[in-house]
């Protein structure tokens, strides 16, 4: 045997001669397995033409710069595959399946960019071989950010939200890779929208608010997914888990100038407040807003929300409800209007004591259900987490896999 041939492990049964050739991306790898015959004649098994049977395997990806984004496929010319292993340079092997006729193995996932792979295959007669290939580097890489944070406990209205660094043209391919599982088989759907930042975003929300105690897991198997023109490739997977906390809802009555916290269907807090001045851009939003973050003491400046130089204040117990700048917070300077009139610049203002009490009770992900005529419109789905203002049928229609 020539020294150029690959090394083959001898495992053919006595009395048979097999030959397993693995054609990898770089070249056709061929070798012979031989064993002495156990027959009285001393001759090896041969084909009709007097030559040993030839079993060859081909791999669809070749060389050092194979195109990523395709499943790895190993095909056997004759006989049956017993096992195939395709391992990237890092991480575990790709899962895959052998076809019913035993001739082809196909990976469940695609080959990722910039990755070296080792292929090992064994046939039913015990022949084995090994080959390698590598995929081309991605010219552009897409990344994402996830909410909520990993291992957090959130309110019953918190969606699973994914914001992408670059545009996503092939939304269906991305959505197929996003696997959501829950501890109680919660029904839900992905919906694509434009984030307030202008970036592509996809949220997963249930048909109704989450049930308290639900455990949610996202397994985003995105490594090797091409997001399309101007978006680039994903070169890693992502995952997050979170748990749903108590059933809390904040009900805001703009016209009655009051805010009430309900827990497990019972009212536990009723506070006077003053919302945004009606009749213009200073009015508050109506609809369901979701508490995005508890930010404590922050500097609020009117020019950041398009209101000129109306205010520049340090504000305590700040609870963000929208990206456009609507908060619930302490507003002691507006004390004369609490419970009486809406005279803020769009936020839900309360006394220091009441804002502190609410801040201590609410959780990120709690819904603020805002009603009343004194509003400038309904919270949009991309302005924070406004998906609850879209009907279930319309939300499902936003899926790329509908």
Among 52, 28, 238, which Cα is nearest to 146's?
238
Contacts of 91 (CB under 8 A, 6+ apart): none
The pLDDT of residue 72 is: 98
Predicted local confidence at residue 306, as pLDDT: 59
The confidence score (pLDDT) of residue 166 equals: 98
Determine, yes or no, domain membership for 396.
no
**Average pLDDT per run of 10 along the chain, which is 402 residues long?**
32 34 37 28 32 65 97 91 94 95 97 96 88 95 97 98 98 98 98 98 98 98 96 97 98 98 98 96 96 96 63 92 97 98 96 98 98 96 98 98 90
Q: Are 218 and 178 in contact (CB under 8 A)?
A: yes
Residue 253, domain extent: 248-389
Cβ neighbours, 10 Å, residue 264? 10
pTM of the predicted protein model: 0.84
Among 245, 267, 292, the domain-final residue is: 245
Whichever domain contains 75, its CATH number is 2.60.40.3780
**Residue 14 located in a structural domain:** no
Q: Same domain for 44 and 122?
A: yes
- Tell me if 367 is assigned to some domain: yes
pLDDT of the residue at 133: 96
Contact 244, 290 (CB under 8 A): no
Quick one: tokens of 124? Answer: 């039913």
> CA separation (Å) from 200 to 98, 191, 382?
37, 11, 10
Instruction: Indicate the residue among 224, 245, 266 that finishes a domain.
Output: 245
| Same domain? 254 vs 360 | yes
Same domain, 233 and 271: no
Last residue of a domain, one of 225, 245, 265: 245
pLDDT the model gives residue 30 = 33
Number of domains in the chain: 3
Q: Are residues 37 and 98 in the same domain?
A: yes
- Give the pLDDT of residue 273: 98
CB 28 within 8 A of CB 34: no
User: Which pLDDT score is estimated for 359?
Assistant: 98
Q: Which of 80, 54, 68, 202 is nearest to 141 (CA)?
A: 68
pLDDT at 130: 83
In a domain, residue 275? The reply is: yes
Asked if 213 and 252 sit in the same domain, the reply is no
pLDDT for position 23: 43
């Amino acid at each position: 045997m020539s020294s150029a041939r690959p090394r083959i492990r001898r495992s053919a049964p006595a009395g048979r001669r097999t030959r397993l050739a693995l054609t990898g991306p770089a070249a056709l790898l061929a070798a012979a397995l031989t064993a002495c015959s156990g027959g009285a004649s001393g001759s090896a098994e041969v084909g009709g033409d007097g030559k040993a049977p030839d079993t060859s395997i081909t791999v669809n990806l070749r060389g050092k710069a194979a195109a990523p984004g395709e499943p790895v496929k190993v095909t056997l010319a004759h006989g049956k595959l017993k096992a195939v292993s395709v391992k990237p340079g890092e991480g575990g092997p790709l899962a895959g399946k052998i076809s019913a006729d035993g001739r082809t193995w196909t990976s469940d996932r695609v080959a990722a960019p910039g990755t070296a792979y080792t292929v090992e295959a064994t046939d039913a007669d015990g022949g084995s071989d090994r080959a390698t290939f590598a995929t081309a580097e991605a010219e552009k890489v897409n990344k994402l950010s996830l909410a909520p944070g990993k291992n957090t406990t959130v309110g019953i209205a918190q969606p699973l939200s994914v914001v992408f660094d670059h545009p996503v043209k092939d939304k269906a391919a991305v959505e197929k890779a996003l696997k959501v599982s829950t501890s109680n088989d919660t029904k839900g759907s992905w919906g694509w929208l434009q984030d307030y930042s202008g970036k592509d975003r996809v949220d997963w929300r249930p048909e109704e608010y989450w049930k308290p105690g639900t455990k949610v897991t996202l397994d985003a198997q995105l490594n090797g997914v091409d997001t399309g023109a101007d978006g680039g490739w994903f070169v890693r997977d992502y995952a997050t888990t979170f748990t749903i906390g108590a059933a809390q809802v904040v009900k805001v009555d703009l016209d009655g100038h009051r805010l009430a916290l309900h827990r497990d269907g019972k009212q536990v807090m009723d506070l006077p407040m003053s919302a945004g001045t009606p009749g213009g851009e200073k009015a508050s939003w109506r609809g369901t807003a979701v508490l995005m973050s508890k930010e404590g003491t922050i500097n609020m400046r009117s020019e950041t929300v398009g209101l000129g130089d109306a205010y520049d204040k340090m504000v305590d117990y700040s609870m963000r409800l929208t990206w456009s700048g609507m908060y619930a917070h302490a507003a002691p300077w507006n004390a004369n209007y609490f419970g009486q009139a809406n005279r803020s610049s769009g936020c839900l203002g309360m006394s220091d004591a009441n804002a502190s009490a609410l801040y201590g009770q609410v959780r990120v992900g709690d819904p603020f259900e805002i009603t009343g005529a004194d509003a400038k419109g309904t919270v949009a789905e991309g302005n924070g987490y406004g998906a609850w203002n879209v009907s279930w049928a319309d939300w499902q229609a936003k899926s790329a896999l509908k």
